[in-house]
Amino acid sequence: MTPPTGAYRLSDEQVLLRDAVRVLADERIAPRAAEIDRSAEFPEDIRQLLATHDILGLPFPEQYGGVGTDLLTVCLAIEQISRVCATSGLILAVHELGALPILLAGSDEQKDRWLPDLAAGRTLIAFALTEAEAGSDASAVRTRAVRDGDEYVIDGGKRFISQGSVADLVVVFAATDPAAEKSSRRLSAFVVETDRPGFAVTRIEHKMGIRGSPTAELAFSALRVPASNRLGEEGDGFGIAMRTFERSRPGIAAQAVGIAQGALEIAARYARERKQFGRPIGELQMIQAMLADMDAQTEAARQLLYASCAAIEDGAGDAARWAALCKLVAGDAAMRVTTDAVQVLGGYGYIDEFPVERMMRDAKITQLYEGTQQIQRLVIARSLLRDS
């Protein structure tokens, strides 16, 4: 069998969904974006909007009440929402990130228990891997889960957990065998209901961008969960996290493409209207070159993202490489394009009368979370060297 090549063609349903989300984003989310950024408060109204329109249900199979779409369709939705508000796009991206461990490794009973409410958007879920001493090196997690009869007792803490303070469920990665010979077997994954005694939100970070997305520090103190909340077997946690990233990193690439597209559109519109030296700045070749480069970078990132989704969905053996490729390229494109958008707008780009300064701040996170750009390069290089 020839390996998946990433060939894709958007179906009629995908185009319809993309366009419907685009209209919803323009009409209902864009008017809220500046205030969400200014207040740095989680936009509960947008979460409800996404739930009501079944957008939060996109990643979930129909048998659990979801829409049952493929990865590319989820990414089309994240892209369109992020085009006007990266914080709002992240609600869907994180909901998918948190649900993936259950979708990938949950038993039928666990899926029946948690997925219907998640698919309906009645509950939200977060993904808690990172700790103060375990960032890029995720296998260094220190949070402990110790078996006690039919339960596990979890002690430790997590940092930088998106939506950790508003989620009803958090997938917590904890060490069940800290001294395991293979570091990849140290961790197990647990679904934790956030109303359990011993679960606490100890801090919300002040951030440069995606300011409406609460980034929480979590503390677990003698937190008891039933053994039936463990996903997979003991020691499967690291593998579950890595398989999750193969499907969630394209979501961050989609967020990046959306941010870049939003900034490009604003810069192009501004260049048509703003006059200096007696003519629109869009007639100046240096501005034209900047706009052309912005378009080329955004479109290249988008095409790689869609191709990556297709390859991953088709079961590519090197799914981790595809996921890393699209996140790397899209994150860098978003950072460059938004920076250039500020340049096209001149001084007006630097003040919050226009959204491009917000988009530039929002873009930066796409180069950092779900693995920094350096880590994406490591993943790609390892795949190349292994295969050759």
> Which parts of this chain interact with ligand FAD (CB under 6 A)?
126-130, 135-136, 160-162, 207, 215, 365, 368-372, 374-375, 378
**CA distances, 77 to each of 16, 46, 57, 59, 341 (Å):** 11, 14, 11, 11, 23
Q: How far is the CB of 165 from ligand FAD (least distance, A)?
A: 11
Residue with Cβ nearer ligand FAD (207 or 274): 207
d(CA 349, CA 361): 12
Residue with Cβ nearer ligand FAD (20 or 140): 140
d(CA 235, CA 214): 30
d(CA 351, CA 345): 10
Going by C-alpha positions, the residue among 171, 173, 175 that lies closest to residue 142 is 175
Residue with Cβ nearer ligand FAD (101 or 349): 101
Q: How far is the CB of 29 from ligand FAD (least distance, A)?
A: 20
Q: How far is the CB of 262 from ligand FAD (least distance, A)?
A: 19
Residue with Cβ nearer ligand FAD (111 or 211): 211
Could you tell me the maximum CA-CA distance found in the chain, to the nearest angstrom? 79
Position 107: which residue type? S
The helix (H) or strand (E) run that includes residue 340 is helix 319-344
Q: How far is the CB of 57 from ligand FAD (least distance, A)?
A: 20
> Token pair for residue 341?
């958008």
DSSP 8-state assignment for residue 25: I
Which 3-state string (H, E, C) describes 238-262?
HHHHHHHHHHHHHHHHHHHHHHHHH
Residue with Cβ nearer ligand FAD (55 or 216): 216
Q: Which residue is nearest to ligand FAD (CB)?
A: 135
> Token pair for residue 381?
């290089």
**C-beta separation of 139 from 184 below 8 A:** yes
Residue with Cβ nearer ligand FAD (230 or 327): 327
Position 23: which residue type? V
Q: Hey, which bits of 227-281 come out as E strands?
A: 230-231, 275-276, 279-280
Q: How far is the CB of 94 from ligand FAD (least distance, A)?
A: 6
Residue with Cβ nearer ligand FAD (7 or 242): 242
Q: How far is the CB of 124 from ligand FAD (least distance, A)?
A: 12
> Token pair for residue 257?
């493409």
d(CA 350, CA 192): 42
Indicate if 313 belongs to the active site: no
**CA distances, 175 to each of 151, 155, 268 (Å):** 15, 10, 50
Q: How far is the CB of 138 from ligand FAD (least distance, A)?
A: 8
Catalytic residue among 96, 217, 246, 370: 370
Exposed, middle or buried: residue 9 (CB in 10 Å: 0-12, 13-18, 19+)? exposed
Active-site amino acid positions: 370
